[in-house]
Amino acid sequence: MRTLACITVGLALAALLLSGCNTRGEQSEFVAQALQPPDGITETDENGSVIGSEDPDDWRTGPLYAGRVVVEPAFPNPVAFGEQVTVGVTLLGFDGVPRGVRIDALRSDGQQLFEITRRPEVDQDGFFPIRFNLSAAVGEAGLVRLILFDIGRNEVISYGDVQIDPAPDAE
């Protein structure tokens, strides 16, 4: 009877370890997708409601964060040059991101990744609207991929694309 219990515990541990390996592989694939050039947007209004096309690739949650972090589509999208963009992040516990988050941007050519904002206060349960001036950080109009990172683990949580419309006097 004791041997059967040991075997059962051993099989349960093996299944847990194997599922962790599978999640790690899925996370690696997710990161590779996040680092691709931007392609399409989820159109949102100034209140965050989806108002047009919805890009199914935008704002998915990485496998390591499933059930722990929810990211809402950036809004407004497209955004006027010089205006603020908001990304809503909800942490659902389970030590989701104990050191906070960072948002990086990847330009449309897919060649340049740089930090936009760092928010160490986004580290406990709750909803956090993260606002920033994307065009001031990027410096030009166009399609930009935003990548949300877990600062402590340096892992990708989510990503999505934002269209920065040109300034009215630039047209």
Give me the pLDDT at residue 167, please.
Answer: 81
Neighbours of 162 (CB within 10 A): 27
Number of domains within the chain = 1
Say if CB 125 and CB 91 are below 8 A apart.
Answer: yes
* Cα 110 to Cα 96: distance, rounded to the nearest angstrom: 28
Name the nearest CA neighbour of 149 among 128, 119, 170.
Answer: 119
More confident residue, 103 or 19: 103
Per-residue pLDDT band at 109 (split at 50, 70, 90): confident
For residue range 128-164, list pLDDT tens digits in order: 999 999 999 888 899 999 999 999 999 999 999 999 9
pLDDT band for 18, please (50, 70, 90 cuts). Answer: very low
Q: What is the CATH number of the domain that holds 69?
A: 2.60.40.1930
pLDDT digits (tens, 9 = 90+) for 146-155: 999 999 999 9
Percent of the chain whose pLDDT exceeds 70: 84
User: Domain limits at 90?
Assistant: 2-170
